[in-house]
Structure 1
Amino acid sequence: MEIDSKDGIERKLNMAQQSDFNDPVISEHNIYVCHVPVNSAFYRVIFPTSKINPYTNKWLKARFKKAVRMLEMRLPQDADSASFDAKKAKYIASQQQSTSKTSFVMDRLLAYEDIFIGQSHSFDAAFEYAISNIYLCPMMGSFEMRHLQAGLQNLQCDEAIHADTDSEFTESESETDDDPSPLRVRFVRPENEFQKKRREESVTLRNKVAEHSSWISLDLEKSTMKSASAKLNSLFSLPNPVDSLLKLRDAEHLVEETIVGNKLAELNLEDRHSLISFKEVRRLPDALQLKALFIKVGVISMQHIEELISFKIEHNLLISRIREYAHLVRGVWVIKSELAFPEDEYSLQRIVRDFALCLLNANLPVRRSDMQLAFGLTVEDFDFSLTTFGEHITSGERTWRLRIDGDETFGKTKEDLRVLIEEKRYWNRRWEEIHHYLSTIKNKSDFTVQKTFKRSFSY
């Protein structure tokens, strides 16, 4: 037997010459230790014994459910085979109702398809024997493909088809009967109610996950293709330990690569309830990173913004982009009320929130009693408006403050000072608008009370 050692030197071992092994050698096999490439998985696919070789078929299609490890492969039937049943194939093809716009030759090949489906539940083995060779490779599992005959279970043919059906068709129909004989399982110990309930819930959950999991289309490559040959060669090439240490990445980078792209694609930044991590924010396009960052934190300092974004930009341009989503309050950036509460039914919450920010920007206390007297809100509505940027101090004066400390260093440069002055002017204008709003509300309420009093006095 020849053994390939780690240093690449082949050594021959004669089993018969060893004193510990007196049995004769029956057979000798080459053993290959495979190396699984990064970001790959190794499965074994087993088809039922038949005359069909799926790997030589030109129109082979496959798709995969990653959550439940389910593989489905489709290949056209051989119409020239003696086992081909045209009546079965026509019925199954009519039930599929294919809508693909392909050529006439393609339609003819895909009209009758054999569907094989298999599911890998767990790790099966660490080696594979093929063509007098033994391959040692860590496998994720095995797919034992089974011929799917779901279309035949609902088969309802008319009298003419029943008259022409041969004995083989009758026998295959009896094999796929809707009411098979029950499978009896004998337990060593009787199953209690808790075990029965847990087993039923487990089966229900597994079926639900399999039903809602999306199919992933697979690209099948023949072994003769260059890309497939390169992947096969990578299984047998041992990595250099020095190169592996140089290419070793930190844990943060590995976590970022595991984030699913579909989750970011389906992210709705207009929804204030969107919960994403900082790593997902860094993977967003440059134009959306700041918006997503403010939706997540609500209030943040300039230094932390520069640390959390992934793109590089000049300081002045960064501030101009920040001002599209936030306002400056005591040296830190707070998300705009229009972005925090974009819904129309929260118009009053936006006014309450801006009024509290005006008070904080002027170093004035924000108390629940004053806000309730001015707007007539409940404690829950008031807390709902201010939790996007602040926190409640329960001891001492019992006021509200910003979630983070103010940055007194902002405004040291000329450009930052100009931004600071413009933001102060904005809050002054906003204070006047809210004061006018409160005065209008108060005048309307006084007029209503006075009108009601006159009516009651006239009676």
Structure 2
Amino acid sequence: MASGEDDDPIIEEIDVYLAKSLSDKLYLFQYPVRPSTMTYDDVNHLSAKIKPKQQKVELEMAINTMSPNYCRSKGEQIALNVDGTTYEETNTYSAKMMDKQSFTSIQATTNTSRYAAAVFRKGELHVTPLTGILQMRPSFSYLDKADTKTREREAANEGGDSSQDEAEEDVKAITVRFSRPESEQARQRRIQSYEFLQRKQAEEPWVHLHYHGVKDSRSEHERQYMFCQSVDASENSELVKSPKEYLAMLMPPLAEEKVIKPVGPSNVLSMAQLRTLPLGDQVKTLMKNVKVMPFANLMGLLASGTDSTSVLRCIQQVALLVQGNWVVKSDVLYPKNTCSPHSGVPAEVLCRGRDFVMWRFTLERSVMRKEITSIIKLPPEDVKEFLEHVAVPRVNRGWEFMLPTDAEFIKKHQDIAHRQHMLWLGIQSKLEKVFNFSKEDFIPKNSPQPEPVHISGEQRLKMAQERAQEKQKERDAKKSPGGVHVKQEAVSDREDEPMDTSSSSAIPNGSLNGYPGDHTNGNGGSPADTSSLELQEFVRKTFRKHFVLTLSEFKRLFNLHLASMPAGRSVFHSVSDHMLQDAILSSQCKQINVPFPAQSKAASDEQKVFGLWETGDEFDKHRRLLYDLFTKNYRVRRNMVQAKLAQEFENPSKAEIDRVLHDCCSSHAGMWYLKGTIQS
């Protein structure tokens, strides 16, 4: 410090005083769109007002209409657009020309604790803290007013026959609704909404002010308050802080800036934020978002100088090698105890289905979606999601792997490629047990393949089904010496029917939805008896819950039920549409012959409607009367239901009518339809 003092001697000492008289009233105005040499000091200020809590100020200043730079015709045109041709006291421009302009403030900063205004006099520096720093910008609210006038004139011109229209308008019923109690979470969202903030800001009243120019005597009087009113030496305290403490007082650390983050979607991570994570998390995040990526691209996304060996070690934990490219593992996309957002299928079942899709791409460049669906027996939307992760659709060629084979990576990292090959063999072994197939059922990867364009998806599906039938017959011959045969039924080719689980569309060796079929029950009974009892039990529970179902919807629910069963627990050997209908009809249900319109585009399964007929409760008769109405028309009005029930029951209550309608029907556009029969 001694040497520093010699090099930088003190040449003058200045006393600093803190003035507090204007500490809660002093604002700094900035005019960012105006050069500093062109001030508004000499401009006539017409009005001023402020909202103190919001620190919002509005000023009106006169425009010199006699200036040679003022365009009089343009000013008159603007006034005409804003106020029209009539004269009113509320007109914006009373002089019939734009003779004033408005300025509205915005806060330059919300924290002014480090800013002050200072004046120097007689060797003393007097400092007054600032209440706010406001940037005054021109307001163009007059344009909004002109636009409103234009719309009003257009509406007046088009509304010549409004009186006639009003006379012919029908009387409409008004529905009164009572709002539910607001939850705390909903309240927090509401008070943070833009609409709520705008309304709160509008509620604060304006405080009108008087403007005094720079040279006005009142301004000079107010400027005196910027000097400390008491300069008694006895009240002053000597600074006893060390230089480091004093510097910390002058420049405190900005703790608030550490927690402020840019507002953005919760699932978006910037590259700057990404590189703050550990390397393993960086690789996992990238692979989870990209799904499939060559190793060279992955290295390009990571920070320069990242060790490739460490990246290879991390990538093998979250991805698998497919045709030389890395594809994210299924359990990373579908963590345990989650389910499909499309169909609700559990994550374990999704992972097995997606692993099968990835395994198929290790054998060949293209796969057929129908063939995949027939094997893994998952809903079409889930299968489509699996394929979209790693492949692109090609005309007449199915789904092709989206990236070319990275032969360079395989050649350069043969040890990793071999390790991944062994890993795929283990996955293949598990898939063969789950889906009950063998690798020979598919085209080997290295064998010559014909162009995919020559083999359609229907042909591939038919070939797979024929192989399944042959193996099914062989197994039945071994298991049933007496020669009991199961009736074979054709499978529908529609992609929206993944539930038709007849033998012709069954998995090889009788697996269904990825599970091997059980052939004996625990008591030694036949599989047909066990599956029939299980099926009827599922029908009973399902219709007790839904009351009315189309065949299409029931097949979807049954498919989800099978997909959610643990591996090896399924007792369903093969279930056709005919068997499903028989099970429904034998479980206190009946088919409702709904007379759909001739031009209806609903599929046949959507037009097969079944309703619960007998439950033993008091509402059985109500439902039967309702079903009878729907045998005459595919849609009914509420008053028709009320009249029908009134014939059988005296004065049925509103609660009874509501219950039977909501149990069995859906409402649309004032009409009631049986569940699942609303025509789009």
TM over 0.5: no
Structure of higher CA gyration radius: 2
Whose relative contact order is higher, 1 or 2, with alpha carbons under 8 Å and at least 6 apart? 1
